[in-house]
Amino acid sequence: MLLTLTTTYEPATDLGYLLAKHPARVQSFDLAFGKAHVFYPEASARCCTAALLLEIDPVGLVRREAGSGFVLAQYVNDRPYAASSFLSVAIAQVYGSALHGRSRERPELAATPIPLAATLTALPCRGGEPVLRRLFEPLGYTLTARQAPLDPALPEWGNSPYFTVTLSAIARLQTLLSHLYVLIPVLDDAKHYFVGSDEVEKLLRHGEGWLHSHPDRDLIIRRYLRHRRSLTEAALDRLLAETAEASPDTEAATEEEIAEERLNLHQQRLEAVLSVLKESGAQRVLDLGCGEGKLLALLLREPQFSQLLGLDVSVRSLEAAAERLNLDRLPPAQRARISLVHGSLMYRDPRLSGFDAAAVVEVIEHLDPPRLSAFERVVFEFARPATVVLTTPNAEYNVRWPSLPAGQLRHRDHRFEWTRAEFYAWAQSVASRFGYRFRLQPIGPEDGEVGAPSQMAVFERLATE
């Protein structure tokens, strides 16, 4: 099975940087089910094509799948040559950085839509060409499909379910690879491996930004998860919740800003966080839920911080952050210190590893309480920086705001606001479960009765025995 990717963006050989595969070399990779080879049939400045050829090891497959299906299925199946979910696995393993939108040498190009064409040979399409079109055309692809006859010598046998398909669009390479990663197994409708709950994570991660609004969303989810109803429902639920978060209500944001304006509370908060980060000695710092990049702008001014990564679920906020930080105009040495990435704090994300500290400023109250535990693991178990600084409103203080009707939260998108005791209980539970110590600090003027308007927790990782 073969996937070719072609670009005419000039110099087209930059495709090699985007895929992290040198155009002049043939490279081979061992995968659990066979071998993948990457080579370039064409590599000129005008046009460059990278080919990913998968060689499935049929003997290995028999061993892995022993006992399934009809007796001969182990020996007679289309897996060695059809573009099945093996190809998705190969994309993730061989083109992993490109699939995650990363490129060491050409980060800007990775973030830029360029002319791309992908050709898949022997793509099994359950539902035929109509399904193929329904899946790809709403995503903006021009599609050509040629159906292979069952046997070219015996036309009366009719067509096989296999197509050679070319998809063209002006798109980011990451977007194209994510679409292929999700939709190839959907077309095949016969995933080779056990579909477990981590498949929900993969689906949501690679479907981010497009799956929610796809007209055939439900079909995609159902087939990707191989008709496992409980998983399908879980995926749909989370997709819908996620999207609610992904569109912060700017109007409401302004209301919150007005409510808090008198105190210039946000500025005080950012300064408190900044001073904790400076004192911690951290050099590599995450800003999780970075929003429009107000904290990042402060951090960038401090030479102590050598590497900054801002993550947010909202693309709109990230665009605003890129603007605020003048990313396009920064001198290269400055530019290299900072990156902004799109992602969700609900999912374990390898990009968050290896940092000294993380700031999570006014974010947790935007997360649904039942999903807080996912967030806690992402930050405290997987990213696991030595210092975590987290702020959230103090609900008790709301009665001191004349503009805020009683019982109302400060922001329409807040899912909860905690009292000081609730925040303490949460912080204590997180610290004890994940091996951190913590302290709390009020932010803003303290009121004898209801405390300060905002509260901050500083977590420090305990030395491991």
Interface ranges with ligand SAH (CB under 6 A): 245, 248, 289-291, 294, 312-314, 317, 344-346, 361-363, 366-367
User: Which residue of the chain is nearest ligand SAH when measured via CB?
Assistant: 291
Alpha carbon 457 to chain centroid, angstroms = 27
Sheet of 284-288, strand order: 338-342, 307-312, 284-288, 357-361, 387-393, 454-461, 436-443
Q: Tell the smallest beta-carbon distance from residue 465 to ligand SAH (Å).
A: 32
Residue 442 backbone phi and psi in degrees, to 5: -75, 155
Residue recorded with tokens 């296999």: 162
The nearer residue to ligand SAH, 85 or 392, going by C-beta atoms, is 392
The nearer residue to ligand SAH, 165 or 374, going by C-beta atoms, is 374
Q: Tell the smallest beta-carbon distance from residue 361 to ligand SAH (Å).
A: 4
Q: Tell the smallest beta-carbon distance from residue 313 to ligand SAH (Å).
A: 4
Q: Tell the smallest beta-carbon distance from residue 355 to ligand SAH (Å).
A: 15
The nearer residue to ligand SAH, 16 or 393, going by C-beta atoms, is 393
Q: How far apart are CA 9 and CA 114, in angstroms?
A: 6
The nearer residue to ligand SAH, 1 or 308, going by C-beta atoms, is 308
The nearer residue to ligand SAH, 174 or 454, going by C-beta atoms, is 454
Q: How far apart are CA 368 and CA 129, in angstroms?
A: 40
Sign of torsion, CA 178 184 187 193?
negative
The nearer residue to ligand SAH, 185 or 248, going by C-beta atoms, is 248
The nearer residue to ligand SAH, 180 or 296, going by C-beta atoms, is 296
Q: What residues contact residue 315 under an 8 Å CB cut-off, 6+ apart?
A: 209, 246, 342
Q: How far apart are CA 148 and CA 162, in angstroms?
A: 6
Q: Tell the smallest beta-carbon distance from residue 167 to ligand SAH (Å).
A: 30
Q: Which amino acid does the sequence have at 86?
A: F
Report in angstroms the alpha-carbon separations of 39 from 21, 44, 50, 82, 188.
8, 14, 6, 19, 25
Q: How far apart are CA 303 and CA 334, in angstroms?
A: 10
Q: Tell the smallest beta-carbon distance from residue 378 to ligand SAH (Å).
A: 9
Q: Tell the smallest beta-carbon distance from residue 438 to ligand SAH (Å).
A: 19
Kind and range of the H or E run holding 142: strand 142-149
- Is residue 410 within 8 Å of residue 256, measured between CB atoms? yes
The nearer residue to ligand SAH, 219 or 372, going by C-beta atoms, is 372
The nearer residue to ligand SAH, 137 or 381, going by C-beta atoms, is 381
Cβ atoms within 10 Å, residue 400: 13
Q: Tell the smallest beta-carbon distance from residue 403 to ligand SAH (Å).
A: 19
Q: How far apart are CA 185 and CA 124, in angstroms?
A: 9
Q: Tell the smallest beta-carbon distance from residue 344 to ligand SAH (Å).
A: 4
